[in-house]
Amino acid sequence: MPSFDILSKVDPQTTENAINVAKKEIQNRYDFHGSKSDVDFNKKDLTLMLTTENELRLNAMIDIIIARSGKQGIDPRSFDLSKEHFASGPMVKKEIKLKNGLDKDALKKIAKSIKDSGLKVQAAQMDNIIRVTGKKIDDLQAVMSHCKKGDFGVPLQFDNMKS
């Protein structure tokens, strides 16, 4: 039976390239000259640590990183900006995690949406992916377009298509 997987992943190398481009832009921008702004990317944990003097520069750094990542093909929804910034002496710091994998809420939303669509397919949750199986490839393609239209709060990729 034909099947495919729905997942949400971020390529660490592409992310690192986008962060390096953003670092160069931050260093070269006029409003950051003479500032102690820094971006650290932990490739293993997929976390960013932003450090700067004030909240205005912090927001500018976040905008630059999201813009550069978007140009590299990384969805802006991959960045978890929910954590608040904190003060560390005269500096302001913010930790940003990259969402890698589907969490339980997103898995349930996607599976329920597929079942409610009325298509003759089965959606099975496996770890942090959803495997969709059906008798016809056309039904699977309809599920893909249905998932692209829906907003589940995470970027979705479709992988491992087998016929």
One DSSP character per residue, 49-71 reads EEEESSHHHHHHHHHHHHHHHHH
Over the stretch 47-86, which tens digit does the pLDDT of each residue have?
999 999 989 999 999 999 999 999 999 989 899 988 888 8
Instruction: Examine domains 3-8+102-162 and 12-98 and report if their fold is the same.
Output: yes
Residue among 161, 156, 160, 162 at smallest CA distance from 7: 156
Record: fold of 12-98: Alpha-Beta Plaits (3.30.70)
Do residues 96 and 81 lie in contact, with contact meaning Cβ atoms separated by under 8 Å?
yes
pLDDT of residue 35: 85
Q: Spell out the domain ranges in the chain.
A: 3-8+102-162, 12-98
Question: Which pTM value belongs to this model?
Answer: 0.82
Q: What is the mean pLDDT of the chain?
A: 90
pLDDT of residue 82: 87
The answer, yes or no, to whether residue 151 has pLDDT greater than 90, is: no
Q: What is the mean pLDDT of residues 102-131?
A: 89
Record: fold of 3-8+102-162: Alpha-Beta Plaits (3.30.70)
Q: What is the mean pLDDT of residues 121-131?
A: 89
Distance of alpha carbon 117 from alpha carbon 146, whole angstroms: 8
Distance of alpha carbon 134 from alpha carbon 64, whole angstroms: 42
Distance of alpha carbon 78 from alpha carbon 99, whole angstroms: 5
Give the confidence band of 131 by pLDDT, cuts at 50, 70, 90.
very high
